[in-house]
Structure 1
Amino acid sequence: MSNSDVIYLFDPLCGWCYGAAPMLDKLAASGVRVELLPTGLFSGAGARPMDEGFAAHAWANDQRIERLTGQAFTQPYQHNVLGIRGTLLDSHAATLGISAAGLEDPSRRWTALKAIQRARYVDGRDIVTVEGVAAVLGGAGMMDAAAILKSPTETLLTAHLDLVNRGRALFQRLHANGVPSLAVIRNEAPRLIGSNALFGSFDNLVAHIAAA
């Protein structure tokens, strides 16, 4: 499987993407090259305020993800993230932080994404502001990414825009229903793997990739 190229379409505020993290770890450990592309799904026009109805819906969904994947959604997350009214569900800062982390080494996007997900869903921390994301990146040993996130360079902003545009374009080309989504590249043509494959057995996921 080492010759496979897999593209992972995600948003850092997507609970299902957090649920899929262990499967992505297994894929990478098996030798599959996985490229992360953010779709910007919950940023810009996709951002929304945290209100009572949305918080209740999100928590119910999160409990389902936890039962299915074993990924923890904690009380600090419920109280300090879902329980705070007036905040925006906006993934721009988190996505920009992931772009900053991967500016010189794209493999660090995955490290940054996992740190951001853990900060939100386990520790109940703020990852919707630049300051909050910078603190998470710094705590994960990526002080360089934290610094450039707080004072973005033209290089970062251009690279970030390119990443998100590529993610959105692929998402639309594949007619994907949502994130997380996987695409396998064969002869420069992407093929969509249904997100359900990320939540079954690893052998099943491997079979889907091989058959794509």
Structure 2
Amino acid sequence: MRITYLFDPLCGWCYGAAPILEKLAQLDDVTLALMPTGLFAGEGARAMDAQFAAYAWQNDQRIARLTGQPFSQRYRSEVLGKLGGMFDSAPATLGVIAVRATEPARELEALKAIQRARYVDAQDIASLAGVSNILRSTGLPAAAERVRAQDSELMQTYRREIQAAQFEMQRFGISGVPAVLVGDGAERHLLPGNLLFGRFDLLISQLKAA
């Protein structure tokens, strides 16, 4: 069973879905493909202001209650509280793609490390230097160097990945992430995103039905 996971590293709900995604990846009969959407990169990026920070924290508390994923007070004060800082997922997305290019078996691990670095450890994942440092501390030096250097091959892959994800979002009428597609090519089916936040056995039954 092939599962395509559409996400953005700066999406709090994607962070909330991380535990169930990890369970899916451990199943022998599942192939999990990560598809970054660039939802909060490019035109989707913005500067942090007090109104957006308050909205984000309120949303984060809903995610925490539903999923049990931690959002630290340090994150609230040092990340959301850094007014004027950029809310831009391009660097973190580059990081995930760089890991896929260098150590593909650790792609999901890298995404988890990047998410935890922001929401728990209050580290910067909206800059190339910040993401590079996180990857290096996770034991992914080759990917870290590619992010820092922004080599042309990595940038081309980034643009290709985002374009492919946006095509799928338009095709299935997806407006937000996380989203899950089951199957290959023309046989893909969209599953309701709320399945990522419920019981694991219900998700499995829906996957099998699809």
> Once the 2 structures are TM-superposed, how far is the Cα of residue 105 of structure 1 from its aligned partner?
3.8
> Once the 2 structures are TM-superposed, how far is the Cα of residue 104 of structure 1 from its aligned partner?
3.5
The answer as to whether partners of 2:8 and 2:38 remain within 8 angstroms in 1 is yes
Aligned residues: 209
Q: Which residue of 2 aligns with 1:190?
A: 188
Distance 1:187 1:144 in 2: 31
Does residue 1:163 correspond to 2:161, yes or no? yes
Does residue 1:28 correspond to 2:25, yes or no? yes
* SS of equivalent to 1:7: strand
Which of 36, 39, 47 does residue 37 from structure 2 map onto?
39
Q: Which residue of 1 aligns with 2:206?
A: 208
Distance 1:13 1:186 in 2: 27
Distance 2:120 2:84 in 1: 21
**Structure 2, unaligned runs of 5 or more:** none
Encode CA deviations 1:8-67: one digit per residue, 9 max, x unaligned.
000000000000000001111122111000000000000111111111111011011011
Does residue 1:68 correspond to 2:66, yes or no? yes
Distance 2:201 2:66 in 1: 17
Percent sequence identity over aligned pairs:
48
Amino acid paired to 1:7: T
> Once the 2 structures are TM-superposed, how far is the Cα of residue 108 of structure 1 from its aligned partner?
2.6
Structure richer in helix, relative to its length: 2
Q: Which residue of 1 aligns with 2:174?
A: 176
Distance 2:160 2:43 in 1: 18
> Once the 2 structures are TM-superposed, how far is the Cα of residue 186 of structure 1 from its aligned partner?
4.9
Encode CA deviations 1:114-163: one digit per residue, 9 max, x unaligned.
11000000001111000000000001000110111111222211222221
Which of 76, 86, 99 does residue 88 from structure 1 map onto?
86
Q: Which residue of 1 aligns with 2:124?
A: 126
Amino acid paired to 2:50: E
Q: Which residue of 2 aligns with 1:12?
A: 9
TM-score for both structures, normalised by structure 1: 0.95
Distance 1:47 1:204 in 2: 35
The answer as to whether partners of 2:102 and 2:142 remain within 8 angstroms in 1 is no
Encode CA deviations 1:73-108: one digit per residue, 9 max, x unaligned.
001100110000001110011101111111134333
